[in-house]
A and B are shown apart, each in its own frame.
Chain A
Amino acid sequence: MSVTFDSLLDLLRRLPPTRVEENVNTLCDLAPEYADDLLGNVDQPLKILTDSEKGRDFLGCDYNRDGDSFRSPWSNNYLPNSTGGPIPSNRLRELEISLNSAFDTYREMYFEGGISSVYLWDLEDDPGQGKEISFAGVVLMKKVLSKPSSQSDLPETTPTGSWDSLHVFECQERGRSAKYKLTSTVMLVLETKTLAKPQGIKNIDENQVKGNGGVTLSGSMTRQAEVDYPLTNSAGHIPNIGRMVEDMEIKMRNLLSSVYFGKTKDVINDLRSQSGLELKSKEDLLRAELAGKLGARKA
């Protein structure tokens, strides 16, 4: 890849994940020659679209897009305009229908709401001829936590947020097994309000101290994996892909909640000392002194 393209990607790794859509659009204007590469390489929040014929929402991303239209997994049609864009071979479309149904169950169990969509596409020029097939696909999950309405009993500080995950995979059947290559991206935004009511201020009525603000914690991360699973028949792809995506999503969710968010919290406490640095250095001294005495006793 060129120096310019590396710089475009470096920029997007540094700028706020909450503004990735807007920033990708700007970069496409600045470097139109890389627009396709950018759109293909940088994951963006999934679009929520409606298949009114089937009465269901579905998700849009670069993999089911043709111009301004997106293929619905429910009707197999491009919406809102039928573009005659690519559709999977019959055999793959049947697997796609099964995967959509399986991941619908998965979505309900893990997300308790939200929207899921699965898209497959053929990797062979002449699909359906050979016994062993190779294909690719993407599993999409999205959930949005909206602001509670003003009538609701929920407190003002109830958090809001969104989860977007894309699991792009390639599959190569090999005799009685199949090789899967997976690239997963999770994009997460969590937001809440702050009030910061201090206590114990002399001479000032605490009610006269006003405060309000917001906290936004956002992140995107990408991981890759390669697995070989046994495959006895075509239906075997469903548990194989299912397990692979499930394991990866569990791993990434744990990484985000413990490592990534935990780290930003640590940095806050590095920036400002809650108890005061003078107290801390005294405690450290005391601790060292105690340790020294204990050590002396043992000896």
Chain B
Amino acid sequence: MAEMSLEDKCKLAAKFVEQSPPGEINDVINDIRAVINDDNALMPHVLQTLRAYNLSQLHVVDHSASGDVPAHSSILSEATVLPGTEVDKERFVDAETKNSFVFDHITLAVTDYQPYELPEEEESFRAALSQSLAKYAKNHFPSGQSSVSCSQYPLLPPAPSAEPQPAEAKASTEPTPENTTESSVEGLEKPVTDVVEEQVNEGDLEPAPTPATGDLGANKEKDELVRPERLDQLDELVEEAKEEEEAGEAVAKGLKPEVTEIGKDGEEEQVITPTQEVPSTEGKPEPAAPAEEKADIVDAVPERKQEKVDNPTYTLEIVGNKYNPNNFWTGRWRTRWVVDQAAGIVEGNINVDVHYYEQGNVQLATKHSASFPLPTEEVAGQSIASQVVTTISKIETAYHLELNDVYGELGDKAFRALRRALPITRQKMDWEKVGGYSLGSDLTKARA
């Protein structure tokens, strides 16, 4: 049998990435690197599957503080890909701070921030959804990160000649979470806040009285977040490049013991230094887009045509990660809801993955799809955005309850149907009286 070509082996090995349990992506990649033992050949394939993994698993990207914008996080997903950049140089949107950026899936480096602005109509609905979703996520997911994105094309930046660049760049980096939501929502904004508190909590078993103090900024508290997996042990070069970036997060990092553990684990493993070219670090995160970059865009798009889609969709996503490698467990809860105004429907998927691997390998994998009609008007002072999130919270709570019940169903009934804990006699087997003794006595004779 002819052995497979290196290229085919790399393709096959890279596919294992998609099966990686939560928070163990580094371990899986290091294992396949050891098996293939040729990073130059392997890593380009890993890059592809890793990108798909990061997007489907809602990888949380950390953004360090810059100017007035505090350190915060955003989510990678199909929905946060900047519309229009899918084919060329892929960019992701951080809608809360109105920026887009380039993400390196191997080094986890975030570079080349550029302003991102939705048309006012889309942004006001997006911001309303985002505010409601952030409140729900904060209340129910101890390490949750939420995100709402809109499929509409962003507004083109003003023509370079029309406005001096520095001014524009400055304006675009200023939005903080507060003015993101307040800027455009106008009269809608206040009712949303008040109603959301009650309505979201109505989805719970017991309504929780909530102080109406939480603002979006509070959700970004770094110490709430369990850091996502990093590939930073990949090689020292990358480590060096990232050091500066991470310096600002050192304090927050110290508060997260689990994170440190992950790092240690990674270091203990044998690291094979890849000879592969490492992306240069010149593109450090910068609030203002470099001037040349902007010029390129203008060159590439001679006709500054504002693209627009009718009835854009809004995607609401939450990811909650908990990794505890010292106690051999990791877990991830993902939800993704798409508001489709044209179809008048909200459709969602919920996935829960848990891995427990102390002297064994036990995995829970769930997938649940749900849908409900999109509310069409404000009801009793509750905005459409708030109604959508309220219904989502109720469905997810019902699902969470059902999951807990499933354990009773599976653990008792199904498990017993497979194998009883004890025979129906409630006693262990009497092996002395079991059949087959005639043969047994023959054996005795044969032995004697």
Please indicate whether A and B come from the same complex rather than being unrelated chains.
yes
Q: Which residues of A contact B (CB under 8 A)?
A: 3-4, 6-8, 10-19, 23, 26-27, 29-32, 91, 94-95, 97-99, 101-102, 104-106, 109-112, 131, 141, 143, 145, 157, 159-163, 188, 190, 192, 194-204, 208-223, 233-235, 238-239, 242-243, 246, 249-250, 253-254, 256-257, 260-261, 263-265, 267-279, 282
Most chain A CB inside 10 Å of its own CB: which residue of B3, B138, B354: B354
Q: Nearest Cβ in chain B — how far from A5, in angstroms?
A: 9
Q: Nearest Cβ in chain B — how far from A234, in angstroms?
A: 4
Chain B residues in 8 Å Cβ range of A216: 363-366
Q: Verify if B418 is at the interface (C-beta below 8 Å from A).
A: yes
With A161-B414, A233-B447 in contact, is A212–B439 under 8 Å at CB?
A: no
Chain A residues in 8 Å Cβ range of B387: 202-203
Quick one: CB contact mask for B365-377 with A, threshold 8 Å, 1 for yes?
1111111110100
Complex alpha-carbon distance, A12 and B401, angstroms? 32
Chain A residues in 8 Å Cβ range of B278: none
Chain B residue at minimal CB-CB distance from A214: B367
Most chain B CB inside 10 Å of its own CB: which residue of A200, A201, A243: A201
A263 & B208 in contact (Cβ 8 Å cutoff): no
Interface size band for B: 35 or more
A213 & B419 in contact (Cβ 8 Å cutoff): no
B368 & A194 in contact (Cβ 8 Å cutoff): yes
Chain B residues in 8 Å Cβ range of A270: 142, 322, 331
Per the 8 Å Cβ criterion, residues 378-417 of B in contact with A are 379, 387, 390-391, 394-404, 406-407, 409-411, 413-415, 417
B436 & A102 in contact (Cβ 8 Å cutoff): yes
B407 & A265 in contact (Cβ 8 Å cutoff): yes
Quick one: CB contact mask for B87-114 with A, threshold 8 Å, 1 for yes?
0000000000000000000000000000
Chain B residue at minimal CB-CB distance from A32: B3
* Other-chain contact of A257, B30, B320, B411 (Cβ < 8 Å): B411
Complex alpha-carbon distance, A80 and B86, angstroms? 53
Q: Which 5 A-B pairs have the closest CB atoms?
A: A213-B368, A235-B440, A221-B360, A239-B431, A219-B362
Complex alpha-carbon distance, A115 and B142, angstroms? 46
Q: Verify if B65 is at the interface (C-beta below 8 Å from A).
A: no
A163 & B419 in contact (Cβ 8 Å cutoff): yes
Sample 5 A-B pairs with CB under 8 A, ordered by A number: A194-B406, A201-B372, A235-B441, A264-B354, A268-B403
B208 & A275 in contact (Cβ 8 Å cutoff): yes
Q: Nearest Cβ in chain A — how far from B394, in angstroms?
A: 4
A273 & B24 in contact (Cβ 8 Å cutoff): no
* Other-chain contact of A212, B357, B368, B400, B424 (Cβ < 8 Å): B368
Complex alpha-carbon distance, A212 and B407, angstroms? 17
Chain B residues in 8 Å Cβ range of A111: 418-420
Chain A residues in 8 Å Cβ range of B9: 29-30
Chain B residues in 8 Å Cβ range of A145: 414, 417-418
Complex alpha-carbon distance, A18 and B35, angstroms? 22
Per the 8 Å Cβ criterion, residues 179-236 of B in contact with A are 201-206, 208-211
Complex alpha-carbon distance, A157 and B36, angstroms? 43
With A192-B409, A196-B368, A246-B428 in contact, is A16–B363 under 8 Å at CB?
A: yes
A30 & B12 in contact (Cβ 8 Å cutoff): yes
Chain B residue at minimal CB-CB distance from A95: B443
B423 & A109 in contact (Cβ 8 Å cutoff): yes
With A105-B429, A195-B402, A276-B204 in contact, is A13–B444 under 8 Å at CB?
A: no
* Other-chain contact of A271, B30, B206, B352, B406 (Cβ < 8 Å): B352
B34 & A7 in contact (Cβ 8 Å cutoff): yes
Complex alpha-carbon distance, A10 and B32, angstroms? 10
B419 & A264 in contact (Cβ 8 Å cutoff): no
Query: Chain A at the B interface: mostly helix, strand, loop or mixed?
Result: helix
Q: Verify if B442 is at the interface (C-beta below 8 Å from A).
A: yes
B356 & A263 in contact (Cβ 8 Å cutoff): yes
B443 & A98 in contact (Cβ 8 Å cutoff): yes
Complex alpha-carbon distance, A143 and B15, angstroms? 31
Complex alpha-carbon distance, A199 and B138, angstroms? 22
Complex alpha-carbon distance, A66 and B444, angstroms? 31
* Other-chain contact of A200, B28, B372, B394, B423 (Cβ < 8 Å): B394
B322 & A267 in contact (Cβ 8 Å cutoff): yes
B411 & A17 in contact (Cβ 8 Å cutoff): no
Complex alpha-carbon distance, A119 and B37, angstroms? 39
B398 & A213 in contact (Cβ 8 Å cutoff): no
A271 & B141 in contact (Cβ 8 Å cutoff): yes
A106 & B404 in contact (Cβ 8 Å cutoff): no
With A7-B31, A276-B139 in contact, is A267–B411 under 8 Å at CB?
A: no
Per the 8 Å Cβ criterion, residues 1-33 of B in contact with A are 3-4, 9, 12-13, 15-16, 19-21, 24, 27-28, 30-32
Chain B residues in 8 Å Cβ range of A95: 443
Chain A residue at minimal CB-CB distance from B377: A203
Complex alpha-carbon distance, A254 and B421, angstroms? 8
A110 & B361 in contact (Cβ 8 Å cutoff): no
Chain B residues in 8 Å Cβ range of A159: 409-410, 413-414, 417
A213 & B369 in contact (Cβ 8 Å cutoff): yes
Chain B residues in 8 Å Cβ range of A11: 16, 28, 31-32, 35
Chain A residues in 8 Å Cβ range of B322: 267, 270-271
Chain A residue at minimal CB-CB distance from B327: A263
Complex alpha-carbon distance, A83 and B88, angstroms? 58
Complex alpha-carbon distance, A171 and B427, angstroms? 27
Other 12 A-B pairs with CB < 8 A, given A30-B13, A109-B424, A235-B441: A4-B34, A15-B16, A94-B439, A98-B443, A201-B372, A202-B379, A203-B375, A212-B369, A213-B370, A222-B360, A238-B436, A250-B428
Q: Nearest Cβ in chain A — how far from B168, in angstroms?
A: 40
Chain A residues in 8 Å Cβ range of B13: 30
Q: Nearest Cβ in chain B — how far from A141, in angstroms?
A: 8
Chain A residues in 8 Å Cβ range of B413: 159
Chain B residues in 8 Å Cβ range of A238: 431, 434, 436, 440
B329 & A267 in contact (Cβ 8 Å cutoff): yes
B407 & A94 in contact (Cβ 8 Å cutoff): no
Q: Nearest Cβ in chain B — how far from A26, in angstroms?
A: 6
